[in-house]
Amino acid sequence: MERIVFLERNTIQAEFRRPDFDHKWIEYPETFADQVVERARPATIIISNKLSLGEPQLSDVPDLKLIAIAATGSDCVDLDYFRSRRIAVCNVRGYAANSVPEHVLMMILTLRRNLIAYRRDVQNGLWIKSKQFCLLTHELHDIRNATLGIIGYGSIGKAMARLGEAVNMRVLISERKNARVVREGRVPFEKVLRESDVISLHCPLTDKTRDLFGRGEFEMMKHTALLINTARGALIEDAALIDALKNRLIAGAGVDALREEPPVNGSPLLDHNLPNLIVTPHVAWASNEAVQALADQVIENIEAFIAGTPRSLLT
């Protein structure tokens, strides 16, 4: 009988049907780092989300066969270690292909139309004092014919490209930074930075993408451009982003991910009252529809593994 241990049940607000095979289901609302070793020990299958999992946590789990990540990102899991132990790791894919691009579009429109600034002006009574029927205190820009640069072209990046094209944006798909060869349909990374009115990040966090955007990248961008990050906080150097916003190297930014989540020790991006920065609490993925699709796919991945037809494998 399989023993499934769900270490972070409360991170996924959806219904999880039980797998269609003989098993024991154990779940914990949340698990802290010092609790992983004890709670994981009886597992043959672990469901996790953001916990760090590797040799220090799971070396004493003798019957472990599978780690089912209830997310797409795998940067919390030591894939090399599990590969060496022949423990399978799978993730979920494509479940947020609607919710994340819609969140990005919301951020783009909010910044291009200066929505937050206008809301503040109305609340502060400026419209009442206006000498004309409208209040034009901030610039307004359309998104039609603006150039959208997409960095990271997995399922969400592809969905973002389709949405951009649907609202008549010109879409550029970036090649990897420092790539020697530009693949068909891709555009050199530096060219994307120089030509885009909006850049949207959809790449995973790896050693090659960590601090992908620093001072040099912001200096290449248009002064009127926006940067949107709904992927991982560590893709951007926080200090460089703050400097770019303060000194108008770029016009604005929207981020849905920080380096530490939750930011219990604070974050430079939360310490500055910047009118051209929007921070949301890692919720781009979390529409009701997307979260349920994620939960369903986790169980389908586990069932496929037990049936001998594994899918979405990372190891």
pLDDT digits (tens, 9 = 90+) for 118-158: 999 999 999 999 999 999 999 999 999 999 999 999 999 99
CB 74 within 8 A of CB 50: no
Rounded to 5°, the CA angle 165-116-137 comes to 100
Indicate the SS3 state at residue 237: coil
Instruction: Say yes or no: do domains 2-95+289-306 and 99-279 share a fold.
Output: yes
180 is catalytic: no
237, two tokens: 């150097």
Does residue 11 have a pLDDT over 90? yes
193-219 average pLDDT score: 97
Domain residue spans in the chain? 2-95+289-306, 99-279
Which of the residues 138, 141, 282, 303 is marked catalytic? Answer: 282
Which of the residues 39, 176, 232, 259 is marked catalytic? Answer: 232
282 is catalytic: yes
pLDDT at 273: 82
Q: What beta strand segments (E) does the chain contain?
A: 2-6, 23-27, 45-48, 66-69, 88-90, 147-151, 170-173, 198-201, 226-229, 252-255, 277-279
> Which amino acid belongs to residue 10?
N
261 is catalytic: yes
For 2-95+289-306, the fitting CATH number among 3.20.20.70, 3.20.10.10, 3.30.565.10, 3.40.50.720 is: 3.40.50.720
Q: What is this structure's pTM?
A: 0.90
Which of the residues 261, 272, 289, 311 is marked catalytic? Answer: 261
| Structure confidence at residue 271 as a pLDDT band (50, 70, 90) | confident
Looking at the structure, give the CATH architecture of the domain made up of residues 99-279. 3-Layer(aba) Sandwich (3.40)
pLDDT at 272: 79
